[in-house]
Amino acid sequence: MASKKTIAVVGATGAQGGGLARAVLTDPDGPFHVRALTRNPVSDKAAELAGLGAEVVEADLDDPGSLRRAFEGAYGAYCVTNFWEHFSPEKELAQATHMAEAAKDTGLEHVIWSTLEDTRRWVPLGDDRMPTLMEKYKVPHFDAKGEADRAFTDRGAPTTFLLTSFYWDNLIHFGMGPRRDPDGVLAITMPMGDKKLPGIAAEDIGKCAYGIFRRGRDYTGKTVGIAGGHLSGAEMAAALSAALGERVRYDAVPAEVYRGLGFPGADDLGNMFQFKRDFNAYYCGARDLDESRALNPSLQTFEEWLARNKERIPLE
C-alpha cells in the first residue's frame, strides 16, 4: 500500500466515480490506492467504500480549500460534476475550475476530466435549429462541461478529456425507461429518428477511466470518447423486447415534442438528443467501441447490461 499511487476520486459515492473506485479497489495487485471524496464521509456509500479499502475524505466542489487538501499528495484525480443536482451550468463551470486549480496547485501528474461537447461549436447561439436555453447555452449540461476543458488546459494540468455517453442506467433511474401507452404497450421515447445513440453501462465509465490511469502519460492531453454500443432507438427497443419478453416500441418523436414534455430539464435533453441526431457521424465517431474495450476488456454490450439489469427497469 505504501508504494501505491493515490487517485483522488471525485464523485466516488456516485455512478462514474464509484465505478472507478470499485475498479481500483477490486484489483488489489494494481498500482493505485483510492481516496474517495465526498461531502458526507459518514454516509452508507462512503462506509461501503471504506469497507472495500478506500480512504474517505471530506471535500466539497464549492470549497476550493477542501479540494486542495483532498488532492494533496495524490498522483491523479478523477474529476466529475453533477449538473442534475443544481441545473446550473455556471456552477458546473466554477466547480470544474476549482478542480483544475487544485490539480495544478498540488502538482497532480494525471487528471481525468469527465467532459462532454460544448455543442455551441456545432450550433452557435444564433443558429435557430434548436432554441437557446438559459440565454447562452444550447445544451446546458453539455456546454459548460466542454467550456470547462479550458480550465484544465489553461493551467497546464496533465489532463485526459473523457467524453462519456448516455448511461443505459437512465432506463432505471432517470425516467427514461419504457412507459405503457393507453393500450398497455410499452414504448421508449427519444427524438433520435433512425440515428444511433452511443450508450454505456454507467459502471463501465469508471472501468474505462481505470484503464486510462493505468496507461498514464500516453493519455494526458488526449480526448477519449467511450461507449459500450451505438444503437438506434429501434435496436434498443428490440433488445428490450427480447430481454423483457414483452414488446417494446420505439417512439421517435420530433425534438420539439420532447422539449415540451414538461419534466425538469426536458428542453436541455431535447436539444441534447437533437445534437446527437443531427451530428450523428461526428458524435458516434468520437466514441470508439474498440478503444473503449481496449481500456476496459469487460465492457458490457447493451444486451449484456440488460441481462444483468432488466429486473431493475421500472415498467410503468
Ligand X SMILES: NC(=O)c1ccc[n+]([C@@H]2O[C@H](COP(=O)([O-])OP(=O)(O)OC[C@H]3O[C@@H](n4cnc5c(N)ncnc54)[C@H](OP(=O)(O)O)[C@@H]3O)[C@@H](O)[C@H]2O)c1
Cα–Cα nearest to 278, from 177, 145, 139, 150: 139
For position 80 contacting ligand X by CB under 6 A, the verdict is: yes
Out of 8, 21, 34, 61, which residue is the one contacting ligand X (CB under 6 A)?
Answer: 61
Neighbours of 309 (CB within 10 A): 16
Grid-cell match 469497507, residue found? 51
For position 39 contacting ligand X by CB under 6 A, the verdict is: yes
For position 83 contacting ligand X by CB under 6 A, the verdict is: yes
Q: By C-beta, is 123 or 148 nearer to ligand X?
A: 148
Longest dimension (CA), the chain: 62
Out of 7, 23, 38, 207, which residue is the one contacting ligand X (CB under 6 A)?
Answer: 38
For position 62 contacting ligand X by CB under 6 A, the verdict is: yes
Residue 175 has, within 13 A of its CA and on its CB side, a CA count of: 7
Residue 210 has, within 13 A of its CA and on its CB side, a CA count of: 27
Q: By C-beta, is 227 or 248 nearer to ligand X?
A: 227
Minimum distance, C-beta of residue 316 to ligand X, in the bound complex (Å): 19
For position 224 contacting ligand X by CB under 6 A, the verdict is: no
Instruction: Please state, in angstroms and rounded to a whole number, the distance separating the CA atoms of residues 270 and 265.
Output: 8
* Residues 2-31, mask of contacts with ligand X (x by CB under 6 A): --------xxxxxxxx--------------
Out of 52, 69, 134, 170, which residue is the one contacting ligand X (CB under 6 A)?
Answer: 170
Q: Using CB under 6 A, which of the segments 70-78, 166-174, 190-198, 227-235 binds ligand X? A: 166-174
Grid-cell match 496533465, residue found? 158
Q: What would the DSSP string read from start to end of 96-133?
A: HHHHHHHHHHTT-SEEEEEE---GGGTS-TT-TTS--B
Q: Using CB under 6 A, which of the segments 131-139, 163-171, 211-219, 274-282 binds ligand X? A: 163-171
For position 81 contacting ligand X by CB under 6 A, the verdict is: yes
Grid-cell match 412507459, residue found? 179
Footprint of ligand X (CB under 6 A): 10-17, 38-40, 59-62, 80-85, 141, 164, 166-167, 170, 174
